[in-house]
Structure 1
Amino acid sequence: MAEGTGERASRRGIWGWMLFDWAQQPFHTLIITFVFAPYFAAAVAPDAARGQELWGYATGIGGLLIALSSPVLGAIADAAGPRKPWIVAFSILGVVGCWMLWFAVPGAENMAMVLFFIALAVFGMEFAAVFNNAMMPTLVPRSELGRLSGSAWGLGYAGGLISLVIVLGLMSASPETGRTLLGLDPILGLDPAMREGDRAAGPFTAIWYVVFVLPMFLFTPDVARRASAKGMVSRGLRRLGDTLKRLPSERSYFSFLMSSMFYRDALNALYAFGGIYAAGVLGWSIIQIGIFGILANLTGAVGAWYGGILDQRYGPRFVVAISATLLALCCLLVISTTDTEVLFVTVAAAGETSGIPDIVFYCAGALIGAAGGSLQAASRTLLVDQVDKERVTEAFGLYALSGKATTFIGPFAVALATGFFASEAFGFSAQDAQRLGVTPIILLFVIGLVLLPMVRSRDYQVSNKA
């Protein structure tokens, strides 16, 4: 591992890199979590439980493709040098996938096409982030990486919040009232009955990404080409092979990859299925889910920013441990809440309504946003502690592999568990099948926490020695 060299990019170069998170966050906020995913489950799929199952398969396939290819491409990129060409290539795939979600009409007959473009969007957007993350250690000294990562994640959440307000306030309208969250008619003549405002989240995400990713390409410095293109693939594969042989003996690095594999997948699954769960179990509308999303993004921005401060003071491992613990408890709170229960305790009789479950779910969303933001930001800096700069893209490739190896297992586990409990053999209602279907998420958080103590956190050690 190499200590920070004290090198620093220009101010606009650093802001250009940070704006990548701003550009990409609407994909996670609008598509994966709060608008398109619950719309897909509620209106495109035959029913909410089947929608949760199909969404798990689509996002799982996208994650599987990343898991199989990211370490190889990361090693090749390290052998070549520049990361921006890779970001361009995968951004194009992600933008196309998002744009095509417009054609996911209610009750769509061609479900295979919809699922394909969901998987393509996941594949392209997530892969672009792998190579953008790898640029981080070249921008500021190591001592400032925690704050840089936290600030970037916070900026990303702010972008997600603003994009969500735009979509819910101006575009996505209730099919019953025809009005948006702000009580307005949808702009651009979007038809509420055909859910055009929800579907427009796909093209809107694509346009937002293209506009705001440009400063990174224009101003953020890239590493120089290290070698000619000839033999680049063989050199990258050879380097990856050497790393994989060494990896079990690098206890901290290996333990981090294993730990993050589980806790990041748990977080991704929690994000992916939170909106679907609220729609199916609590009966929330897209507008209610959107308010939940606005709250989670607001607290996520604060959590990521404050997590960056804690990272710089106590080290990233401390931040990861606290955040993962909070998220596991939040997940337990979520699955214990229905329209009549909180913590498995009945608060309203069948057929009656109570505002308590909604309030509890909003509070859980706020905590999930704050803890999730700090967890993701601290994980980037904790990875940088494990490798030197010459291996950083490969490391983020393996980081993507370690996450995506269970990013497809997590959604698949939720999909299989939901389908399993929804089968006629058990006789569970669709609501109960959804609740039982998301329980694997808690187990993933616990496994990640068990492995975390074996991970070395350099900043924490340095601060204790000081």
Structure 2
Amino acid sequence: MPERRAPVLSEAKADQGARMSEISARKRIWGWWFFDWASQPYHTLLVTFIFGPFFATVATKYFLGAGLDEQAAKASAQSLWAWNMGLAGLIIGFGAPIMGALADTRGRRIPWIMGFSVMYVIGAAGLWFIALDGSNLYWMLGLFTLGFVGAEYALIFINSQLPELGTEDEVGEISGSGFAFGYFGGLLALIIVLVVFAEMGGGKTIAGLAPGLGLLDSDQMEGTRATGPLTALWYAVFMIPYFRWVHEPLVNKARGTVSQAMGALKASIANLKHRQSLLYFLISSMLYRDALNGLYAFGGIYANLVLGWSVPQIGIFGIVGATSAVFFSWIGGKLDKRFGPKPVIIAAIWVLIAVAVIIINMSREAFFGMPLPEGSSLPDNVLMFAGAMFGGMGGILQAASRTLMVRHTDPASPTESFGLYGLSGRATAFVAPILIGVATTLSGSARLGVSPVILLFVLGLVLLRWVNAKGDSETWEGAS
């Protein structure tokens, strides 16, 4: 039997090698970028601008029906979303490095990406079934978490492929352009939803059309509910270029076991004491990425609960933020290539801190304690500007962070390295939502509830001081 199997494996390698040689390096980069394009709508449509605020509206009505006053009902709705995002963060954070190590011991990443893609599609599609009376809120949170975990786990394996796409000087621009392309995909998806599907006043879309061109029932909010299935369909279609153009060579690695993966992970964590720059970067990015995810998760909800924006208004807010993200991510990639990722990260964090301070000190009635005349448009204009900055600086921050991680990545185990990066980004991902939930509960204010993100940004900024801008390749080369 072994004599018969060897030629088959050799032929398979030869066939796959031929296919890989036919795919240019540029096309492979485009295929890798298409993951960002395909997956971004989960964050743009479901987390931030459409489903998240819609869920908050449904949950608020549910809690009002349970006897809470309006302020308490809004705070309870935000707290419920916060606790669920915290739970999702725990699942992602503690599973990410284990799966990364397991993938490295087995030598393949594509099968894992396929599996997590299935989770993404099922979770997103299931959101169609949200009940307007809030009777199945917890089931919907479960489906949302399933898709969100799938998206984040897949991203770990996608990120681990970045070092293979170019040289150290090139990956910054590749990373930034990938985020820009992804944000453009999210922007296009958001525009389609607002124009064709999401209901506003009178049961029409922002373009005055009947939801789904008349095929959906506006009384049942089917246009807004369709955002989930549309996100799933978008992902399924636009992942095709990735799977066609991004191939991995067949390897002779034996199937690694969970215990082997855990052993490799344990060794990597133990080795962090010899890699001080990586250790400080992981902790720093853990804090500032947690703060950024908190802003993304609650930006639309803040607009809904504090300023009373409708879902279509929040959609416009999303268009502004996503457009800014496209432009600034591309610019950030150019700046990354010119100056390196660390100074780009520092500048983006400072801008995010300043903007967070502004929105926390703003309400419909006052701006930094100064009363506003009734009907003032200042809060709306300021929040729209804040959305542009959150989108733009967030895109820069994520792209440059991915580049700085490449500079700290051991090429012998890239998925495991990015698993640690995923752990740092998600191990405490429950902190921002939980702190927001606690602050919202204690203050009874959705506005003051988002204030903990400032502290997380500041702590992350302080720890960056001990991160080597050029990475720590000398350390892992010596360790290996």
The TM-score with structure 2 as length reference comes to 0.89
The aligned counterpart of 1:457 is: 469
Q: How far, CA to CA, are the matches of 1:173 and 1:245 in structure 2?
A: 53
Q: Which amino acid aligns with 2:171?
A: L
* Alpha carbons 2:439, 2:450 under 8 Å: kept: yes
Q: What secondary structure does 1:386 align onto?
A: coil
The aligned counterpart of 2:137 is: 111
Which residue, out of 270, 274, 277, partners 1:252? 277
The aligned counterpart of 1:399 is: 421
Q: How far, CA to CA, are the matches of 1:9 and 1:48 in structure 2?
A: 52
Q: What secondary structure does 2:305 align onto?
A: helix
Shift of 1:78: 1.4
The aligned counterpart of 2:398 is: 376
Shift of 1:327: 0.8
Cα distance per residue 1:106-143 (max 9 Å; x no partner):
12212221121121121111111111111111111221
The aligned counterpart of 1:3 is: none
> Is the counterpart of residue 185 in structure 1 residue 210 in structure 2?
yes
Moved more, 66-75 or 151-160: 66-75
Q: What secondary structure does 2:205 align onto?
A: coil
The aligned counterpart of 1:447 is: 459
Which residue, out of 335, 343, 363, partners 1:310? 335
Moved more, 46-55 or 217-226: 217-226
Q: Which amino acid aligns with 2:212?
A: I
**Alignment of structure 1 residues 32-71 onto 2, 5 Å:** 32-45=47-60, 46=63, 47-71=73-97
> Is the counterpart of residue 326 in structure 1 residue 351 in structure 2?
yes
Aligned length: 440
Q: What secondary structure does 1:407 align onto?
A: coil
Cα distance per residue 1:278-309 (max 9 Å; x no partner):
10100111111111100000000011000000
Q: Which amino acid aligns with 1:271?
A: Y
The aligned counterpart of 1:137 is: 163
The aligned counterpart of 1:240 is: 265
Shift of 1:15: 0.4
Q: How far, CA to CA, are the matches of 1:460 and 1:254 in structure 2?
A: 10
Cα distance per residue 1:37-79 (max 9 Å; x no partner):
0000012443332221111122211111111111111111112
The TM-score with structure 1 as length reference comes to 0.91
Q: How far, CA to CA, are the matches of 2:227 and 2:192 in structure 1?
A: 10
Q: Which amino acid aligns with 2:355?
A: C
Q: Which amino acid aligns with 1:446?
A: V
Which residue, out of 372, 381, 388, partners 1:359? 381
**Alignment of structure 1 residues 11-30 onto 2, 5 Å:** 11-30=26-45
Moved more, 33-42 or 391-400: 391-400
Q: How far, CA to CA, are the matches of 1:190 and 1:52 in structure 2?
A: 28
Q: How far, CA to CA, are the matches of 1:416 and 1:194 in structure 2?
A: 33
Shift of 1:223: 4.7
* Alpha carbons 1:9, 1:140 under 8 Å: kept: no
The aligned counterpart of 1:221 is: 247
Shift of 1:353: 0.7
Q: How far, CA to CA, are the matches of 1:312 and 1:328 in structure 2?
A: 24
Mark the runs of 5 or more structure 1 residues left unpaired by the alignment. Answer: 1-6, 423-432, 462-466
Cα 1:226/1:334, change in 2 over 3 Å: farther
* Alpha carbons 1:264, 1:403 under 8 Å: kept: yes
The aligned counterpart of 1:123 is: 149
Q: What secondary structure does 1:115 align onto?
A: helix
* Alpha carbons 1:171, 1:180 under 8 Å: kept: yes
Cα 1:222/1:346, change in 2 over 3 Å: farther
The aligned counterpart of 2:237 is: 211
Q: How far, CA to CA, are the matches of 2:461 and 2:471 in structure 1?
A: 19
Cα 1:9/1:51, change in 2 over 3 Å: farther
Q: Which amino acid aligns with 1:445?
A: F
* Alpha carbons 1:146, 1:316 under 8 Å: kept: yes
The aligned counterpart of 1:261 is: 286
Q: Which amino acid aligns with 1:372?
A: G
* Alpha carbons 2:408, 2:471 under 8 Å: kept: no
Name the % identity.
Answer: 44
Q: How far, CA to CA, are the matches of 1:96 and 1:216 in structure 2?
A: 19
Q: How far, CA to CA, are the matches of 2:87 and 2:230 in structure 1?
A: 24
Cα distance per residue 1:425-455 (max 9 Å; x no partner):
xxxxxxxx11121111111101100001111
Mark the runs of 5 or more structure 2 residues left unpaired by the alignment. Answer: 1-20, 64-72, 474-480
